[in-house]
Amino acid sequence: MRIYCVDAFTDKPFAGAPAAVVALSVEKPDGWMQALAMEMNLSETAFVLPRNAGGYGLRWFTPTTEVDLCGHATLAAAHVLWCRGEISGRSIVFHTRSGELTASKTGDSVELDFPRIDPELARAPDGLLVALGVENPVGTVRAGPDYLVEVESETVVAGLCPDIAKLAAINMRGCIVTARGAESDFVSRFFAPPVGIDEDPVTGSAHCALGPYWSAKLGKSEFYARQLSLRGGSLRLRLAGGRVILIGRAVIVWEGKITV
């Protein structure tokens, strides 16, 4: 089996969100996949398996658990399949725990067709704002498995130093913190210690909620977004009915062979 490390939502190595992509030829036990994801210790490890009926099965694991949806590892998996020469067409269908997801190649970028997550008004759970170090949020909503907290500026988002141990004790997948951007439509950071990710470098699935959230505020349906993690990354997105189209690039940093 070949394994690849791919930096996603970036056009240069050592930036964006790194994901491991494992090209399977046969199904492997869940425990084996989880153990390999822990061994890789990246925010996501993707496992891709061709299906006889067409398309590819795709599963995503953090170091501690399997997740229902992941943007950057899907982008990484699609990029690997095109670079390996396994796909001659311009689109790939992935069969996942979130249904069918389509990746389409457009020039040097990949477009991901993902489900839209419409935020719902909700108060922040006890301890969340204290753990984030946010005193006066602009607003708080529930965004699928996550909470989304808007703060007053990009400077506040960039300067956050949350208490990871306190965040890990809150009943959620993760927390998105966002604000209007200085050179982009909006910026964000994403913290998910409950699923083994202190801070995710670039989070495609979070933008499935960020797109609808900022559409209601800005009155538009296409965005340029930046995620202000230490590595940093960017993507474009547009709303398309009940879907969100995420657009980004990826770079293979290294590849190897799994011997166990």
Residues annotated as catalytic are: 44
Kindly state the helix (H) or strand (E) to which residue 255 belongs, with its residue range: strand 250-257
Angle at alpha carbon of residue 208, lines to 231 and 154, rounded to 5°: 45
Whether residue 52 contacts residue 44, with contact meaning beta carbons closer than 8 Å, is answered with: no
Task: State how far the Cα of 170 lies from the Cα of 93, in Å rounded to an integer.
Answer: 35
Q: Which amino acid is at 10?
A: T
- String of DSSP letters for 104-172: EEETTEEEEEEE----EE-PPPTTHHHHHT-SS-SEEEEETTEEEEE-S-HHHHHH----HHHHHTSSS
Neighbours of 118 (CB within 10 A): 15
- String of DSSP letters for 154-191: HHHHHH----HHHHHTSSSSEEEEEEE-SSSSEEEEEE
Q: Is 212 helix (H, G, I), strand (E, B) or coil?
A: helix
- String of DSSP letters for 69-87: --HHHHHHHHHHHHHTT--
Task: State how far the Cα of 181 lies from the Cα of 188, in Å rounded to an integer.
Answer: 9
